[in-house]
Amino acid sequence: MNPSDLRYAKTHEWVRADGDECVIGLTRFAVDQLTDVTYIQLPAVGKKVKAGDGLGEIESVKAVSDIYAPVTGKVMAVNTDLSRDPGLVSRDPYGAGWLVRLRVEGAVESGHLMDARAYEAQVSETPH
């Protein structure tokens, strides 16, 4: 169910490499856990983020959760459609519900990222 061409962080973000840039979103598992997404806070374009830093937050009726940057880079674009329609992230998490586009600084340190199979193994161990 998770696209095999993406890399995954244990904090439920996905990364799609695109030359020296990458697109970041949230996994189907993450948005299904949240349901009822009401608000998504994303960083300003131009902001530099380090892998593991807070990238933004996603809010549901019940709670607020942090979104973490899976790689280090500079924010080149954010998905402005999400401010009008935060439910987009639930309906199409791997497509129209993408979060941000980063320009990767230096080499992508992706050793901490998982492929789809490893991510699914992690998710299946999560009690829910």
Partner 1 sequence: MDDCQSHAPAPAMQTPLHAWHVANKGRMVDFAGFSMPVQYTSIISEHLAVRKSAGFFDVSHMGRLLIRGEAAMEWLDRIVTCRLSDLAVGQVRYGLVCNEQGGVIDDVLVTRWPDAWGLVVNASNHEAVVAWMMAHPVADTTIEDVTSSTVMLALQGPEWWRVVQSFLPESILALPYYRGAIVAKDGTKWRISRTGYTGEYGVEIVAPAAVGEALANSLLQLGAVACGLGARDTLRLEAGMPLYGHELDEQTNPFQAGLGRSVDLSKEFYGCKALEALRGDVHAPVRVGLILDGRRASRQGDQVLDGTGIQIGRVTSGTFSPTLERPIAMAYIRREMAVTGQSVSLLVRDTHVPGQVTGLPFYKRQAR
Query: Token pair for residue 121?
Result: 């193994």
| Residue of the chain from 3, 5, 20, 35 that contacts partner 1 (CB under 8 A) | 35
How distant is the alpha carbon of residue 4 from its chain centre? 15
Q: What is the CA radius of gyration of the chain?
A: 14
Q: Which residues make beta-bridge pairs with 94? A: none
Nearest to 72 by CA among 54, 50, 99, 46: 50
Kindly write out the interface string for residues 81-100 of this chain, putting x where it contacts partner 1 by CB under 8 A and - elsewhere.
-----x--------------
107 binds partner 1 (CB under 8 A): no
Residue 123 · residue 1 · CB < 8 Å: no
110 binds partner 1 (CB under 8 A): no
Kindly write out the interface string for residues 53-72 of this chain, putting x where it contacts partner 1 by CB under 8 A and - elsewhere.
----xxxxxxxxxxxx----
120 binds partner 1 (CB under 8 A): no
Report the interface residues with partner 1, using CB under 8 A: 11-13, 26, 30, 33-36, 38-39, 41, 57-68, 86, 126-128
